[in-house]
Amino acid sequence: GYGGQYRTALLNQLVRSRAQTGPPAHQVNTYLHLAGSVGADTTDAQLTSCSRRAKAVSSQLMIGLCPGADYGPAKRWLPDRFGAVAVSLAGRLDVHWLLFGKSADAEIGAIIAGEIGAACTNLIGKTSLDDLMRELQRCSVLLTNDTGTMHLAALLGVPVVALFGSTEPRLTGPLGAGHRIIRHQVECSPCFLRECPIDFRCMKAISADEVVQAVADSIAEERAGAR
């Protein structure tokens, strides 16, 4: 593994990091370099999305929502705005929302689920990894912060609308085509901090209206591709 962050003494095979030149490279390249150093063939490293299972025959649109983020609150958009987006889209489309996350996100999930009402199934803290993969494949799009669920959805071929604040989408954004990233560059971003020490300006700059539009555009694109 790579040294640093108090783990060097625990490693039996230390891998030297590659020198970084030019624009930031996605973090997946860091892991590919690590895999290659122990013999893995990384020459064909293009992302191939897993096949999505056929959706149940239904006229109702399913949208996933992942409002948490393990790294810290600096990566989490405001719960009331997630709720506003969900309510707005529910008023325009025959949509049902699926909420995803860990048990630690239960409080956020309860707030959002309360705002959406009957057009929502709150699965936060209730899914195994297999469950999560199965439920994601029911979704036409996933609205999320910068999360592991975001990457899983991208791998499964589910279009993602990802909201970025303290982190850098060029480093940890969803891989593949058809995804939308919303990010407002402010003077202190990306800071990579777990908690914002000032006013959370990067995430507050993201409006509910622009997220509604991004999700609607993603749905329209996904439907057009399915014809």
What type of residue sits at position 133? M
**Buried b or exposed e, range 71-104, using 16+ CB within 10 angstroms:** bebbbbbbbebbbbbbbbbbeeeebbbbbbbbee
Q: Edge-to-edge, what's the strand order for the sheet holding 120-122?
A: 120-122, 95-99, 61-66, 141-145, 160-164, 180-183
Quote the pLDDT of residue 56: 44
Length of the chain counted residue by residue = 227
Distance (Å, rounded) from C-alpha 195 to C-alpha 211? 23
Distance (Å, rounded) from C-alpha 209 to C-alpha 27? 30
Quote the pLDDT of residue 41: 77
Q: What is the pLDDT of residues 117-156, one digit of tens each?
A: 999 999 999 999 999 999 999 999 999 999 999 999 999 9
Structural domain spans, the chain: 1-46, 61-226
List the one residue out of 103, 227, 88, 218 whose CA is nearest residue 161. Answer: 218
Domain 61-226 belongs to what architecture? 3-Layer(aba) Sandwich (3.40)
Contact call for residues 143 and 63 (beta carbons, < 8 A)? yes
Tell me the three state secondary structure of residue 68.
coil
- Looking at the chain, list the stretches that DSSP marks H as alpha helix, in order from N- to C-terminal side: 28-37, 79-92, 106-116, 129-136, 148-155, 169-172, 201-204, 208-226
Per-residue pLDDT of the chain (227 residues; tens, 9 = 90+): 777 777 888 888 887 777 766 667 766 766 666 777 777 877 775 655 555 544 544 568 999 999 999 889 999 999 999 999 999 999 999 999 999 999 999 999 999 999 999 999 999 999 999 999 999 999 999 999 999 999 999 999 999 999 999 999 999 999 999 999 999 999 999 999 999 999 999 999 999 999 999 999 999 998 887 65
Distances (CA, A) of 216 to 19, 26, 59, 111: 41, 27, 16, 23
Quote the pLDDT of residue 45: 59
Distance (Å, rounded) from C-alpha 141 to C-alpha 61? 9
Contact call for residues 160 and 140 (beta carbons, < 8 A)? no
